[in-house]
């Protein structure tokens, strides 16, 4: 059960996209998200699909793997689809009891569902092609200019790194505590939702206590290794932006420009 959690899932294939500067990848993903909201007709989606498909092909991540990532969001997409199809006023196509389906509603529903699907596919491509460390590094660098207005860029990145570092450790510990409590007669699997939630107490309390102890010890170990925040800190791996990164960035810019033009003209 615990093995199914795949936060920050990374699918290494060593493709050109994997090797890109994470900062550029984050910026392009951002441009991509913005362009999805610029689109206001189906013609615009042709550009988006072309961009997304070529990115997926270059990344060598199997498209079925990306589509699998949509599964947990199917409910959300379904609800959005329903709301749009039934709630939009306009020319009625047919009635279904108290519900009416309009032409505009149908159009809007398909349009919105596609937008969500493209959004999830595009952003998951970012995490699939970027290792968590590269991602945190990229975020830190991108947020750096905002330090002056009080954005704790380094602290945020450090928090993410530590969180990622401790996911496997805490999962292992959860598993251990669970087994220990089961051996003492705890029941995590039967009963209704409320009794199951109550059953989690003997799991969560020890887990919380040990997490605090770990945090305490980690903080001391970090201090012992001269950690004093982001000031004057250097990095072993420095990020480098190469020619192909700028090329990719210009394509991303081109996409958003094309979509703006498309929106104004059509």
Partner 1 sequence: MEKMIKVQGVTFLYESNDQGDVVKALKDININVEKGEFVTIIGHNGSGKSTLAKHINALLKPSEGDVWVKGMNTKEDEETWNIRQTAGMVFQNPDNQIVATIVEEDVAFGPENLGVPSAEIRVRVEEALKTVGMLEFRDKGPHLLSGGQKQRIAIAGVIAMKPDCIVLDEPTAMLDPSGRKDVIDTIKKLNREENITVVNITHFMEEAVTADRVIVMEDGDIVLEGSPREVFSQVAKLKALGLDVPQVTDLAFELRKEGIQLPEDILTVDEMVMQLCQLK
Q: Could you please report the per-residue DSSP string of 19-73?
A: TS-HHHHHHHHHHHHHHHHH--SHHHHHHHHHHHHHHHHHHT--HHHHHHTTGGG
128: left (phi over 0), alpha (psi -120 to 50) or beta: alpha
Separation of alpha carbons 215 and 165, rounded Å:
12
Binding of partner 1 by 247 (CB under 8 A): no
Count of alpha carbons within 13 angstroms of residue 124, beta-carbon side: 24
Question: Residue length, the chain?
Answer: 266
Report how far residue 31's alpha carbon sits from residue 26's, in angstroms, rounded to the nearest whole number. 9
Residue 221 in the binding site for partner 1 (CB under 8 A)? yes
* 3 touching partner 1, by CB under 8 A: no
CA distance 252 to 175: 44
Q: How far is the CB of 211 from partner 1 (least distance, A)?
A: 10
Rule CB under 8 A: say whether 234 interacts with partner 1. yes
Q: Between 212 and 246, whose beta carbon lies closer to partner 1?
A: 212
| Number of residues counted as binding partner 1 (CB under 8 A) | 29
Backbone angles phi, psi at 36, to 5 degrees: -60, -30
Q: Is 132 in the site for partner 1 (CB under 8 A)?
A: yes
Token pair belonging to 101: 């389906």
Binding partner 1 (rule: CB under 8 A), the pick from 97, 236, 264, 265 is 236
**220 touches partner 1 by CB under 8 A:** yes
Give the nearer residue to partner 1 in terms of CB position, either 196 or 213: 213
Contact status: 139 vs partner 1 (CB under 8 A): no
Please tell me whether residue 193 binds partner 1 under the rule CB under 8 A: no
CB-nearer residue toward partner 1: 100 or 131: 131
Per CB under 8 A, does 226 bind partner 1?
yes
Q: Tell me if 235 contacts partner 1 by CB under 8 A.
A: yes
Q: How far is the CB of 5 from partner 1 (least distance, A)?
A: 14
Q: Closest approach of Cβ 237 to partner 1, in Å?
A: 8
Q: CA triplet 148, 123, 75: central angle to 5 degrees? A: 120
| By CB under 8 A, residue 162 contacts partner 1 | yes
CA 133, CA 89: separation in Å to the nearest integer? 48
Residues that bind partner 1 (CB under 8 A): 132-133, 161-162, 164-165, 168-169, 172, 213-214, 217-218, 220-228, 232-238
């Amino acid at each position: 059960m615990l093995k199914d959690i795949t936060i920050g899932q990374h699918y290494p294939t060593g493709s050109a996209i994997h090797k890109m500067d994470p900062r550029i990848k984050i910026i392009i993903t951002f441009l991509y998200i913005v362009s999805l909201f610029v689109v206001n007709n189906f013609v615009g989606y042709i550009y988006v699909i072309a961009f997304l498909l070529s990115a997926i092909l270059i990344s060598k991540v199997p498209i079925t793997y990306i589509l699998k990532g949509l599964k947990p969001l199917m409910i959300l997409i379904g609800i959005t689809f329903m709301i749009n199809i039934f709630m939009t006023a306009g020319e009625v196509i047919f009635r279904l009891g108290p519900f009416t389906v309009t032409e505009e509603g149908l159009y809007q529903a398909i349009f919105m569902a596609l937008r969500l699907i493209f959004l999830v596919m595009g952003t998951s491509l970012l995490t699939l092609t970027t290792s968590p460390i590269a991602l945190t590094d990229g975020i830190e660098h991108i947020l750096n200019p905002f330090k002056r207005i009080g954005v704790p860029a380094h602290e945020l990145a450090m928090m993410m790194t530590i969180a990622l570092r401790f996911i496997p450790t805490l999962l292992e510990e959860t598993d251990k505590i669970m087994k220990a409590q089961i051996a003492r007669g705890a029941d995590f699997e039967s009963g209704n939702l409320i009794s199951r939630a109550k059953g989690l107490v003997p799991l969560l309390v020890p887990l919380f206590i040990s997490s605090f102890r770990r945090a305490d010890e980690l903080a001391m170990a970090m201090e012992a290794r001269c950690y004093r925040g982001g000031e004057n800190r250097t990095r072993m791996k420095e990020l480098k932006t190469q020619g192909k990164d700028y090329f990719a960035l210009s394509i991303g810019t081109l996409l958003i420009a094309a979509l703006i033009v498309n929106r104004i003209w059509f």
